[in-house]
Structure formats: structure tokens, C-alpha cells
Amino acid sequence: MLAHRGERLSSAHHSARPGEPLVSLERVVKEFPVKRGGLFSRSREKVHAVSDVSLEIRRGETLALVGETGCGKSTLAGCVMRLHDLTSGKIVFDGTDITAASHAELQPFRRRMQMVFQNPYGSLNPRRRVGSIIGDPFDIHGLARGAERVTRVHKLMALVGLNPEHYNRFPGDFSGGQRQRIGIARAIALHPDLIVCDEPVSALDVSIRAQILNLLDDLQRELGLTYLFISHDLSVVRHVSNRVAVMYLGRVVEVAPVDDLYEHPRHPYTRALLSAIPVPDPDREAAREHVVLSGDPPSPLDPPSGCRFHPRCPRAEAVCASEAPRLARAPGDAAEHLTACHFPLADHELLATTTVGQRA
Amino acid sequence: MNSATNTMVRSRGPWALAFARLRHDRAALAAGVTLVGVLLLAVLAPVIARLVGHGPGDQFLDVGLSSSGIPIGPNRTFLLGTDSLGRDLLVRIAYGTRVSLLVGVLASALAVLVGTLVGIVAGWYGGLVDRALSRLMDVVLSLPFLVFALALVAVVGPSLTISVTVIAFFTWASVGRVVRAQALSIRELEYVQAARTLGASHARIMFIEILPNVTASVIVYTTLLIPGAIAGEATLSFLGLSVVPPTPSWGNMLADAMAYYRVAWWFVFFPGAALLITTVAFNVLGDSVRDALDPRRETASRGSPEDAA
Amino acid sequence: MIRFLLRRLAWSALVVWVVATTVFVIYFAVPRDVARLIAGRQASEQTIQIVRARLGLDKPMGVQYLSFLRRLAGGDLGESFLTQERVTAIVARDFPVTASLALGSAVLWLVMGVGAGVIAATRRRSATDHAITGIALTFYSMPPFLLGQLLLFFLFFQLYLAGFEFFPPGSYVAFSDSPLQWARFLILPWLSIALVTAATYSRLTRSAMIDVLDEDYIRTARSKGLTERRITYRHALRSSLTPVVTQFGIDLGGLMGGAIVTEVVFGLPGLGREAVQAVATQDLPIIMGIAILSAVLVVAANLAVDLGHALLDPRVRFE
């Protein structure tokens, strides 16, 4: 449908071409101080949400960020969107360092990166009409008023598969899937370069997920979007992404093109995550390796030393507790496939010492 | 896509739904009708005066007082009786309605305006701003109202303006606290985060995102503040701290009546009834408005005003 | 715990200081001629000058403020313009009256209010519930002075006409002299404050109890076979009382106000009536003294309530 190329030229000039980095995260650290006690007692504890993450998001791709709850992926998304200030590190958006940018300086960048939220019921103001909600970006950045704004919102609604006649309805009148479409319409209103999708389908019925994912896919092609796709659901991720980064307790433990990751996982944690994806065929399912990790993920208040995964890792040795591994190419891997592990798994190696019959 | 929503169900926004609920509440209707009557009484006070031929300040020392100088009871000339100076009680009560409604509505509106503003600012900005404003509200709330009203009037002299100001000053903080609590929880919701990612300014978020979601409680609070303000004004005029005689207000009429209650029951009863009916009607209406805006609440009979949030 | 206490104390001291300063500003910084007020309208210029000098009003504002604070810290509230009597003496004389009035009505309203609320909640939707709620609505819409007048009319005057002089108004008998008489003169004043406030508390208790009675743990208790009475009083009531206690702390401030009007209506010689009369005679030191004293009392009461809260609920200490 309509690509509105006219507007894209009027927004800030972009230098990154397809494949080149659109967003660069360099050694990003984000810590939250934990407030305990009142005026006179200040706790020293900190939540280490993101610890030393370096990543690139390349124009035109879909980079998936996966991990368990609490691994820091949502916080990282918040850092990319500059919802938080960084504790340390650098964020570069299309050649410009936006780490320390003020609210005013960030405004032009706000038009170029947007977010789709997880909760279709919380991400839309229940007391406002959807037309007004979708039209917010135009209002905030002063790009369209009155009748022209209404027209544009109608087009956006059609673009995401909503009936433009529902402009004056309230979010309460729509289903979860439709509300996500509203949220998506709002996100693409100004034709941003980057969209961060924070678990966009996790709260939706399984039957609706495919629709929304297909919509996101169509929009990516039509509007030339770049996605940072955050999810804990690996089966979804495989369908939508070009590259995948796996996070554990604030660090990236493995990053690779999608097929490489699924077929040749090198990090023990990745292997464990993948083994948890059920396979429909019961025979194949029974024949697979199942990795059961012991214990719960430690708290981000007091992460383990060295490799943060070492307390749960069946392959851990002394060096794992003392030295944190860096992201590096494992022997035999493609240049793009990086793993942070002292003893990365080879293809044929089994992680668990238990086989199917002895599964706990 | 779901085409079911295209057809049958007519959508009604949250306000339309609340209004519909209100319309079916009989107590609310009765209260509403009563209040319309009160309003008419206030508006038509001069008309009433003209009709009976007595002004609010006209003293009828001959026909209005008995031979021993005591007020006379309801009769054909003076429908509700007279007061200590032979003035027509009906007319004075009608004019007193103006004072009560004016002060009640104005003071409440002012309190709600200031309270909402402060509450939203405190709730949104958080941190030092919030701490400072919360402390301020705590202090204001803990001050004894009448004592300070007395102190102020002793210096500045009684007047309508003082009445409105004092009542507003002592009530805005309760609105502020409720609004602040709501703003604090709304702040964490995702649609507020969404507004931030869009680049919305603080002012925009406070007034376009947060405010519409606190309006419901604000409205409830206003309708519940008004009867308190009316009662407050009556108390102030009872003590001589509000409008200056000879302007009639229910409070100062009741103050005069104190010396005569043994011999002129109407002098206490009619202004007292006017005051009571008005405040009860506002309270009933306020309760119904609250129930209409929040149907989750258990409502066999009226609940507590403190849960307005 | 000590930290909490210190913080609250510091905060309370701050509030009292703010109040005192505000009072000072209103009375001394506002451009009016206080000396003329004291000296009286007929006084000559010379007299006014003497008065001004004696009261230190010719000194700069800063100096006056400091001496004001100093005297305040020493417990000196000045002298009445009219009678030259020390304000502290006046206050000491009136205080027992107001205290009796305030405390008595507080006890009454707690008992009546919570009691009525519990009854209404346990008999939800019954005729009793509707009756209690309706009565409560009427009472809490009434300002205390109106209720006082009505009580005077019905419970004193009508009874008097019928020959029973049960509750005469107009005087005060100290508790130490005769407890019976003390109560007798105070019952109507107590009721005119208590009934109004009890109405609010009955609504509060009722709604809190209804919420609690719907909770799962109450259903569990019922299914275990506990009697309804035991459930109500031992389990549900305890949890419902929290908002009541909070509200009580807030209402302590309003007590002064209720007392003022009631003293006027019933002619009780307490702080409230004293203050109202002082407004009429423009006797500023008395008003100032009572205003500051009320603030101190309210702050002290709030401190006590906070302390109680902190003792009962450890989470409060960390706010």
C-alpha cells in the first residue's frame, strides 16, 4: 500500500544503508539503585539490569533479543529508546551519539525510533479515543493538524487492518489483537527507522499471533523498517528474525544469524533454551535432548562472579567462576556467530548427563 | 479481522455508561430534583420577595413581632414566620440560599482545581517535588480549620471572600492527596511510557494522559466537597465570620435564632431544614455519582465517602 | 525506630514553627496599628506612643520576630489586651473544659460509629442496614452547631417543658468536683459533636468490614465452622479498624473546630468560646495564643497516632 516516501525524505537524513548499523550499543551498563530506608539510610544495593552489552542493530534486519524474565532485555530496550539514562556506555543512532542527549535534543530521534508494547490492555489510554491516540505522534511533533491529521490516521488504520470508521471508539471496544494493531499504527505513524517490539504477541491468543506477526512482516517490507524484536518465546523468534541475541542476567551470551543459532547453538544456556521448545511430533520429541537446568536464575541484585551462568552450568570449571568470558567466534563458526563461553559446545556434544529415560 | 464489532453493538464511552447508570438511580433522581428546587429558590429569591411584598432586609416591627416583641409564627402574611427583627423568614431563607450555594460551589471548585493540579504535579514528577508537595498537603490537612479561620478573620474582617478562601484553603489538600495517589499509579502504566517514547512533554503527559483518568474521582470529590463547604460556610456565618449582617445567610439566621429557640421554633426549624435538606441532597447525589462512575463497588446502600478514590 | 521518632519530632517542630511564624506575620507584619487597637479608640497620640514603646512595636520587624519566638519558646503567650491577664493563665483555666468536651465526644463517636458500622455490615441489605445508613447520612450532613441547637430544643427544652430537667446547658462542673454533674452538663455537647462524626465512622467501618467479610480468609473461617459472632469480632473487625485509626488521626485536628462551635451553642467556658469572644473584642494575644496552642495539640496528637501506627505496623517506619 502507500509508502509515503515523501515524508521519509523530509525527516532527518540517514546515512546507514541496508545492512549497515543503524543502532550501536557499546558497553552499555544500566543499574538501578534500590531504595531502602528513609531519609537517613541509603541502601547500597543495585539491580544490575544490563551489564556491559555491545550490540549492533543493522538497517533492514530483525534482531531478536531473547532470554528469561529478568535477564534485562526490556531494560535494554528502554536504554535504546532512551527512556532511561545509561549508567555507562554509549548508544549511537545512525551515526549520532545520543547517550547524553537532553529531552529537547532527543526529539528528532523520537520520530525515528518507536516502540510496540507487550500489554494491549495497558498500552492504550482507556479514556481517549483511538483516533486521538494514533494521531498523537503528529500532534507531539507538530506535523499535521485537524482534518489532515484525521486523514492520515485513517490511512494508518487501514494500513494495519483496522476499520477507519472506528476512529472515535475507545480502546475498550476492541479485542486484544485489534489493540495491538492500534499500538502498531501509532508506532509507524511517523515512519520511523527503528521499531522496538517488546513481546508484541506474548499477551495475545495463539490464534491471533500469526496475524500480528504477519502484519509486522508486511509493514517491514512496505516501510523499510528495522526491528528489535524482544521475546522469551523461541518458536516465535525463529519465524521473524534475521539474527538472534541471547541474554542471560544482563549480558549477551550468544549472538548469531537465526539459522546458525538454532542449528548450532554453542552456549550451554542457549542449548537449554532451545531444548525447552516442544516439538509436535511425539517420537522426535522423545528422541531429543532435554536439558533441565538446576536451580533458579540468581537475582540481578547480586549476580555471580565471572560467567554469570556458571552456578547452573553442567560444564562449569574453575575459570568460569573467576573470569567472565568475552563474546568471540567459536572455532568453525561463521564470522557473525559470537559466543561468550570458555567451553562452547560443539555440534555433537550433549549438555545434559541425563538422557530421556532418566529425565527428572 | 474481527468483523463482529462493525455491526451490532453500539459503543458507549465510559462517560455515557456512567450517565446511564445515574439516570436509573432513584435516590439520585430525588436528590437531583431537590437540588434543582434549591437552585430555583436561590435564583428566584427576588421574585419571591416581590410576590410576598417583603424585602430581605425589611423589618416589620409592628406586624412582624408580637406585642411582647417576639417573632411571630407562620401565618398568611409571613409564610414561614418572622425573625427577631420582624423580617420575613421565607424571603431571607431564599436569599440565604444564594450565599450557601455560591460559597459551596465556588470554594469546592477552587479546592478541586488547586488540589488536582498539585496532585498531578506531585504524582508525575515524584522525587523532591513530590516530597515537598506531600509535606505541604500534610501540614495543611493537619491544621485546625475553625481556629485559623477565627484568627484570620480577627485580622482581616469577615466577608464572603474570606469564607470562600478559607474553606478552599482547608479542603484542597484532601483532593490533592487522592489525585496524587492515582497519578502515582497511572504513571507506571504502559500508555504513559508510550507517551514518553513518542517524545511527549511533561505537560502533555500530565494533562492529556493522566488528567482524563483522574477526572472520575475528581468529579466524585467535587460533589462530596460541596455539602461540606456549605456546612462550613454555615458554621462560619454562625460564628459571624462570613457574610456581614444584614445580608442573610442560613448560619447567621441560626445564630440569631439561638436566643429565641424556646419561643420561636420556626426561627430555628426553617433555616435549619433548608440547610439540612440541601446538604443531604448533595451527599446523596455525590454517593450516586460515585457509584455510577465505579460500578464495581458494593452498593446496596451508600458506602463511605472516604473511598472516593 | 529511634530514627523514625526523631524524624517525626523534627517534622512536628517544623510545623509548629511555621504556624507560629504565620501567626506572627498575620498579626504584626500586616500593616495595622496594633498599638492603637490596644490603647482604644479614645486614646491620645501620646498614649498610643507609650503603648507602642512598651510592647516593643517600634522596634524593627526582625527584632520583634525574634523576641516573639523567644517568648514563645519560654511558654509566654503574652497578655490579654483587655484584661492584662496572662494568656497562659486564661488557657490553663479553659483547657480542662475543652479537653473534657473533646475527649468525651471522641470516645462516644468511636464507640457509636464503629458499633453502628459493624451492625450495618453484618446485616447487610437488611432493614437495619438501610435504617442505619440513612440515619448516618442525615447526621453527617449536619453541621455540629445545627445538631447542637436541635438537641437543645428536643432533649433539653421539650423535656423541660414536660418537667424533666435532665440536660441543662450553660455551665461546666469540673470532673474533680462531681463526676455526675460533669457528665450531665456535657452530654448534649458531647452528642452534638459525636453523632455527626459517628455517622462518618459508621460508614467507614461498614464499608471496610464489607470488604473484609468478602475476603477469602473469612470464607475459610466460616467453612471451618466458626460462629458468625467470633468471625466478626475476632477476625474481621481487626482488619477493618485500620482505616478507622487512620481517619481518627486526621479527625483529631477537626476536634478543635467542633469544640469551638459547641461551646458557643451550649455556653461552655472553654477555649473555643474564649477565642470567639476574643475575635469580637479584637483581643489579639488570646486568639494568637489559642491558635498556636491548637496547632501544637494537633501536631502532638498526630505524632502520637503515627507512633501508634509505627508500633503496630513496622512497614510504616521506613517511609
Please say whether the beta carbons of B248 and B62 come within 8 A: no
Q: Which residues of chain A have pLDDT under 50?
A: 1-12, 38-40, 353-360
Chains contacting chain C through 3 or more C-beta pairs under 8 A:
A, B
pLDDT at B8: 46
Q: Tell which B residues from 132 to 191 touch A, by Cβ distance under 8 Å.
A: 189-191
Q: Does A231 touch chain B (CB under 8 A)?
A: no
Closest chain C CA to residue B135: C11
Cβ separation B199–A106 shorter than 8 A: yes
Chain B nearest C-alpha distance from A273 (Å): 28
C-alpha–C-alpha distance, residues B76 and C20, integer Å: 56
Percent of chain C with pLDDT over 70: 85
pLDDT mean over C288-316: 76
DSSP secondary structure string, B13-50?
Answer: -HHHHHHHHHHT-HHHHHHHHHHHHHHHHHHTHHHHHH
Please say whether the beta carbons of B53 and B78 come within 8 A: no
Which residues of chain A lie closer than 8 angstroms to C4, CB-CB?
38
Q: Tell which C residues from 150 to 179 touch B, by Cβ distance under 8 Å.
A: 150, 152-153, 157
Chain A nearest C-alpha distance from B198 (Å): 6
pLDDT at A12: 47
| Bridge partners, residue B82, by sequence | B88
pLDDT mean over B257-284: 89
C-alpha–C-alpha distance, residues C294 and C299, integer Å: 8
Q: Does B261 touch chain A (CB under 8 A)?
A: no
Cell numbers found for residue B216: 472520575
Q: What number of C-beta contacts closer than 8 Å exist between A and C?
A: 11
Chain A nearest C-alpha distance from C73 (Å): 28
Cβ separation C319–A38 shorter than 8 A: yes
pLDDT at A264: 87
Chain C nearest C-alpha distance from A46 (Å): 18
- Of A23, A83, A52, the closest CA to residue A249 belongs to A52
Q: Does A106 touch chain B (CB under 8 A)?
A: yes
Burial A106-138 (b: 16+ CB within 10 A, else e): beebbbbbbbbbbbbebbbbebbbbbbbbbbbb
- Give the DSSP letter of residue B4: G
Which residues of chain B lie closer than 8 angstroms to A166, CB-CB?
5
Cβ separation A170–B14 shorter than 8 A: yes
C-alpha–C-alpha distance, residues A54 and A252, integer Å: 8
Cβ separation C318–A40 shorter than 8 A: no
Cβ separation A37–C7 shorter than 8 A: no
Q: Does B44 touch chain A (CB under 8 A)?
A: no
Cβ separation C200–B305 shorter than 8 A: yes
Chain C nearest C-alpha distance from B151 (Å): 6
Residue with the bigger pLDDT between B277 and A279: it is B277
Cell numbers found for residue A333: 563458526
Q: Give the closest of A111, A122, A166 to B191, CB-based.
A: A122
Tallying the residues shown for chain B, one arrives at 309
Q: Going by DSSP bridges, is the β-strand pair A338-339/A251-257 parallel, antiparallel, or unpaired? A: antiparallel
Map residue C4 onto helix, strand or coil. Answer: helix
Number of Cβ atoms within 10 Å of the Cβ of A68? 14
pLDDT-based confidence at B295, cuts 50/70/90? Answer: low
CA dihedral A170, A174, A180, A181 (to 10 degrees): -90
Percent of chain B with pLDDT over 90: 32
Run of H or E including A21: strand A21-33
Amino acid at A65: L
Which residues of chain A lie closer than 8 angstroms to B191, CB-CB?
122-125
C-alpha–C-alpha distance, residues C33 and C52, integer Å: 9
Q: Going by DSSP bridges, is the β-strand pair A62-66/A226-231 parallel, antiparallel, or unpaired? A: parallel
Residue with the bigger pLDDT between C54 and A104: it is A104
Cβ separation A81–B197 shorter than 8 A: yes
Which residues of chain A lie closer than 8 angstroms to C319, CB-CB?
38
Please say whether the beta carbons of A156 and A134 come within 8 A: yes
Closest chain C CA to residue B233: C143
Cβ separation B2–A177 shorter than 8 A: yes
Cβ separation C7–A41 shorter than 8 A: no
Please say whether the beta carbons of A120 and B194 come within 8 A: no
Chain A nearest C-alpha distance from B272 (Å): 42
With 0-12 / 13-18 / 19 or more C-beta atoms within 10 angstroms meaning exposed / middle / buried, residue B265 is middle
pLDDT mean over B289-309: 51
User: At residue C245, does pLDDT exceed 60?
Assistant: yes
Q: Does A360 touch chain C (CB under 8 A)?
A: no
DSSP secondary structure string, C70-129?
Answer: HHHHTT---B-TTT--BHHHHHHHHHHHHHHHHHHHHHHHHHHHHHHHHHHHHTTTSHHH
For an interface test with B, the pick among A80, A103, A112, A136 (most B C-beta atoms closer than 10 Å) comes out as A136
Residue with the bigger pLDDT between C59 and C71: it is C71
Residues 6+ apart with CB under 8 A from A9: none
Chain A nearest C-alpha distance from B199 (Å): 6
Which residues of chain C lie closer than 8 angstroms to A38, CB-CB?
3-4, 7, 318-319
Cβ separation B1–A161 shorter than 8 A: yes
Q: In what order do the strands lie in the sheet with A226-231?
A: A113-116, A194-198, A226-231, A62-66, A243-248, A251-257, A338-339, A328-329
pLDDT mean over B283-290: 86
Q: Does A6 touch chain C (CB under 8 A)?
A: no
pLDDT at A198: 92
pLDDT at A226: 93
Q: What number of C-beta contacts closer than 8 Å exist between B and C?
A: 157
Q: Does A186 touch chain B (CB under 8 A)?
A: yes
User: At residue B4, does pLDDT exceed 60?
Assistant: no
Cβ separation A39–C319 shorter than 8 A: no
User: At residue B2, does pLDDT exceed 50?
Assistant: no
Tell me the torsion sign for CA atoms C266, C272, C274, C278: negative
Chains contacting chain A through 3 or more C-beta pairs under 8 A:
B, C
Cβ separation B307–C207 shorter than 8 A: yes
Structural domains of chain B sorted by starting position, each given as residue range(s) with its CATH number in brackets: 26-295 (1.10.3720.10)
Report ipTM for this prediction.
0.80
Chain B nearest C-alpha distance from A327 (Å): 31
Q: What is the pLDDT of residues C150-186, one digit of tens each?
A: 888 887 777 777 766 667 777 777 777 777 878 888 8
Q: Does A81 touch chain B (CB under 8 A)?
A: yes
Number of Cβ atoms within 10 Å of the Cβ of B282? 26
For an interface test with C, the pick among A35, A36, A40, A42 (most C C-beta atoms closer than 10 Å) comes out as A40
Cell numbers found for residue C64: 520583634
Structural domains of chain A sorted by starting position, each given as residue range(s) with its CATH number in brackets: 1-36+44-112+192-241 (3.40.50.300), 121-191 (no CATH), 265-360 (no CATH)
Q: What is the pLDDT of residues B214-268, one digit of tens each?
A: 887 788 888 889 999 999 999 999 988 888 888 899 999 999 888 887 888 888 8
pLDDT at A277: 76
Chain A nearest C-alpha distance from B179 (Å): 16
C-alpha–C-alpha distance, residues B98 and B45, integer Å: 8
For an interface test with B, the pick among C101, C138, C139, C146 (most B C-beta atoms closer than 10 Å) comes out as C146
Which residues of chain C lie closer than 8 angstroms to A35, CB-CB?
none
Q: What is the pLDDT of residues C101-137, one digit of tens each?
A: 888 888 898 899 888 888 888 787 888 888 888 888 8
Which residues of chain C lie closer than 8 angstroms to A42, CB-CB?
none
Please say whether the beta carbons of A120 and A176 come within 8 A: yes
User: At residue C311, does pLDDT exceed 90?
Assistant: no
Which residues of chain A lie closer than 8 angstroms to B197, CB-CB?
81, 83, 110, 114-115
Q: Does A331 touch chain C (CB under 8 A)?
A: no
C-alpha–C-alpha distance, residues B120 and B115, integer Å: 8
Q: Does A36 touch chain C (CB under 8 A)?
A: yes
Residues 6+ apart with CB under 8 A from B102: B160
C-alpha–C-alpha distance, residues C300 and B10, integer Å: 57
Please say whether the beta carbons of B171 and B229 come within 8 A: yes
Which residues of chain B lie closer than 8 angstroms to C211, CB-CB?
298
Run of H or E including A197: strand A194-198
